[in-house]
Structure 1
């Protein structure tokens, strides 16, 4: 994101020092003994205290709590923040107030310099995000130094902000097979088009159950799209991160700035779409509409097709369904073996551990869930080898992976399956189970469905509540306890629920 707006201004009618040397001498004279680090920290503490009083505690905590002073050099204060969004918002809305507050403590400060901290450290001053320049006297037109990220010399990849990207999740590290071949091809095409400032399929929606590579593909698109031009504004956000930013923006009365930040992106990648709820889902709908109208690339990933995302309104679901919907199906034994072989090759390079072909075949045959479990199986065997110095064999794999194999023997039940089976069994519309209807013919099947979700899936209570129309976790807990109590008194209900379990586990 280009952030070349003026970051600070002097007062109207102020006459700055006429030369750089004059400014330097003025700054040194005014600062006196405060030039040392301890005095700078004390001065900045006073500046923060005055800002807190001026803007109020809520606004201060939202925008200034993570603002840090790096150093003061001559007539300039170097400040840093942890994110580019925060930096842009402070520069646009509060830089003048910050500068005025600094000047009440040290009249020599005439400019501000903002950087974004990377891994807890500020960027070198040779690569500023934006630098404050004095404002011209009234009647003249100030020349705002607008520079692109490339011209400013920022680190490659700075445009990839939002949720953290995993540098290991690239197209080169993605293992392809029949279940994910189409998804990989589409992802590559999207990334190539975005790197060339064009749009291919739009929007793209990738869906699968957990652990089949959706996040890997979104990360790979982000890296590949930004590799050609780091000035591209590419945003990868998980649904939780999206909601966090939106809620904080609303609390800090900066929702408009957040919306504008999102709508200026070139490529928007949203992961774990199924967790988006409430007003954040509504805001996502507005955002995706604006981006598609502006021909900006949108890629979304979720664990269910768009039509099953009940937390989104019909218009957004229609937009997602009207794009390119790409499923990733359950891994077959061929793809599982390719993944295990790739991880075994990496383990051999890193640890000098050898995986015999028989062990690779065994893991691919018995670990049938998803890619993360395959990675975990290889990691377990490497750890066992390192700790016991026992060579990696099939008997070692049988002992080490026993619980992993047992936990995957039964069919994995999804909440979507529960909703389908319960609605069919009780002759209730699926949408009614997710609605706020309180009639007995709906409430009881809904409670039973929540009970089954808790009993047969690994989802937490808040996750189950979100999947049942955005309900609170306490509602889910009440339903579970209610059904457990009813089962103690009603033998027919017990038989009913056992029947539903068998239907779900077949």
Structure 2
């Protein structure tokens, strides 16, 4: 092969790099090699069948166009898989419509692919054109790292578990799999998952992929439409750490099935899965029992609401961050204390309150005072909402009060010392939660909704006639709502 051909190949790679960007080029084209040039045909090779398949599906026309930019006479590109001693699989890319014809003659093992991104907020390199980035990771916010995460009593266990996942090395035994983090909106779930992703990207040893549930659905549907489902599956299963955010938004029967297969394949292969959602696994009604059970079989951690002390620490941390860009931004300590005491809903409201004060400071040049803060954040001061009660809490507290186990409440036992507490727990689930009768029945060992209805009516009748029982139930309610 002449030096002229090699020089042209170098220029072609430069064209590709300029068009798709450094991350994508490194992932899909860095290991592509020029095998030879014959008349109007260029012969290229890649080390794995997966790379060949992906380039065929997404970059065939672009590779040919880049060659034609250097050598207009090129009409065809043959892409093969390098495999010693075996005739490679070949792909023909023709100029007329850039039709690719593939004949698979070998099954070389798929090698690793580059997933970690090191220059900017990306979960992994993705194809650039819309509809073709089936396995592109969701964007990462560079602010959401472990360094900026404020730890308090409400989130310390989740933070410690996330740090353990992030610090693990390839080949280490996976301790928590899956790690399932749940919390209400704005309490730091996404921050923790993205912090794991950034830590993995910085280390570079493991392949880390962060996806929102929406992105997972989009990627799977796109792979079905473009007939690249196998590539989609292979990329997910090739990751060392898969992070799925907002699982409650997963939709579609086929998507549920694919998520279930991915979850099982990764856990069985000893690869780390981390999931975040706004409710515990058993409350995800869209998922089937097997998936809920698999999710609940790992480490399930709840991130609680922020206390006033933690809210104040978060505000102080955010002010310090803001000062790196706005050195004159100053919020008096009494104002920060007022915000921490008044804005109680979630961390995003705290962020919004500070952003308003920062905007006022920069746009008007006036100092931040208590009067200003009271005026600017008054719509963020929400009335205290009653605490949301969970069925698991009801079962736990009722079981403890009546000296039975939670398993007894869910079992088929019909002894008197179990039946009455079970009926009380069902009654409380109906009166203190928004769950339907069928859902409550399912959460009590798969019982029929008529059983729940009978329990509710039974306790209602007893409460009207038994003062002692009524007082017991009121005491349980107070404990649940504290």
Q: Relative to structure 1, is the Cα distance of residues 415 and 246 closer, same or farther in structure 2, using a 3 angstrom cutoff?
A: farther
**Is residue 324 of structure 2 the alignment partner of residue 315 of structure 1?**
no
**Is residue 176 of structure 2 the alignment partner of residue 176 of structure 1?**
no
Render the CA deviation track for 1:123-176: whole Å, top value 9, x for unaligned.
xxxxxxxxx67989x98779x9x99778x9985688735111111111001011
The answer to whether the Cα contact below 8 Å between 1:270 and 1:301 also exists between their aligned partners in 2 is yes
Offset of residue 20 of structure 1: 2.6
| Correspondence for 1:221 among 186, 193, 196 | 196
Q: Relative to structure 1, is the Cα distance of residues 182 and 382 closer, same or farther in structure 2, using a 3 angstrom cutoff?
A: same
Render the CA deviation track for 1:341-384: whole Å, top value 9, x for unaligned.
11122233322111111011000000001111101101101111
Offset of residue 88 of structure 1: 6.5
Task: Give 1:371's aligned residue.
Answer: 347
| Correspondence for 2:176 among 201, 213, 220 | 201
Render the CA deviation track for 1:171-206: whole Å, top value 9, x for unaligned.
001011110111100000011114665422111000
Correspondence 1:251-400 to 2 at 5 A: 251-278=225-252, 279-351=254-326, 352-400=328-376
The answer to whether the Cα contact below 8 Å between 1:99 and 1:109 also exists between their aligned partners in 2 is no
In the alignment, the residues of structure 2 paired with residue 272 and residue 154 of structure 1 have an alpha-carbon distance, to the nearest angstrom, of: 22
Q: Which runs of 5+ in 1 are unaligned?
A: 1-17, 29-36, 41-66, 68-72, 78-85, 113-131, 435-440, 442-504
Task: Give 1:44's aligned residue.
Answer: none
Offset of residue 21 of structure 1: 3.1
The answer to whether the Cα contact below 8 Å between 2:182 and 2:303 also exists between their aligned partners in 1 is yes
Offset of residue 394 of structure 1: 1.0
Correspondence 1:224-235 to 2 at 5 A: 224-229=199-204, 232-235=206-209
In the alignment, the residues of structure 1 paired with residue 294 and residue 8 of structure 2 have an alpha-carbon distance, to the nearest angstrom, of: 62
Offset of residue 410 of structure 1: 4.4
The answer to whether the Cα contact below 8 Å between 2:182 and 2:279 also exists between their aligned partners in 1 is yes
Offset of residue 411 of structure 1: 1.3
SS in 1 for 2:275: strand
The answer to whether the Cα contact below 8 Å between 1:195 and 1:226 also exists between their aligned partners in 2 is no
Task: Give 2:385's aligned residue.
Answer: 411
Task: Give 1:430's aligned residue.
Answer: 439
Q: Relative to structure 1, is the Cα distance of residues 282 and 107 closer, same or farther in structure 2, using a 3 angstrom cutoff?
A: same
In the alignment, the residues of structure 2 paired with residue 206 and residue 262 of structure 1 have an alpha-carbon distance, to the nearest angstrom, of: 20
| Root-mean-square deviation over aligned CA pairs | 4.9
Normalised by the length of structure 2, the TM-score is 0.61
In the alignment, the residues of structure 2 paired with residue 153 and residue 236 of structure 1 have an alpha-carbon distance, to the nearest angstrom, of: 10
In the alignment, the residues of structure 2 paired with residue 256 and residue 300 of structure 1 have an alpha-carbon distance, to the nearest angstrom, of: 23
Offset of residue 389 of structure 1: 2.1
SS in 2 for 1:312: coil
In the alignment, the residues of structure 1 paired with residue 215 and residue 116 of structure 2 have an alpha-carbon distance, to the nearest angstrom, of: 28
Which has the larger displacement, 235-244 or 277-286? 277-286
Normalised by the length of structure 1, the TM-score is 0.58
In the alignment, the residues of structure 2 paired with residue 353 and residue 426 of structure 1 have an alpha-carbon distance, to the nearest angstrom, of: 47
SS in 2 for 1:429: helix
| Correspondence for 1:243 among 204, 210, 217 | 217
The answer to whether the Cα contact below 8 Å between 1:194 and 1:225 also exists between their aligned partners in 2 is no
In the alignment, the residues of structure 1 paired with residue 298 and residue 336 of structure 2 have an alpha-carbon distance, to the nearest angstrom, of: 39
**Is residue 124 of structure 2 the alignment partner of residue 160 of structure 1?**
yes
Task: Give 2:74's aligned residue.
Answer: 108
In the alignment, the residues of structure 2 paired with residue 193 and residue 139 of structure 1 have an alpha-carbon distance, to the nearest angstrom, of: 38
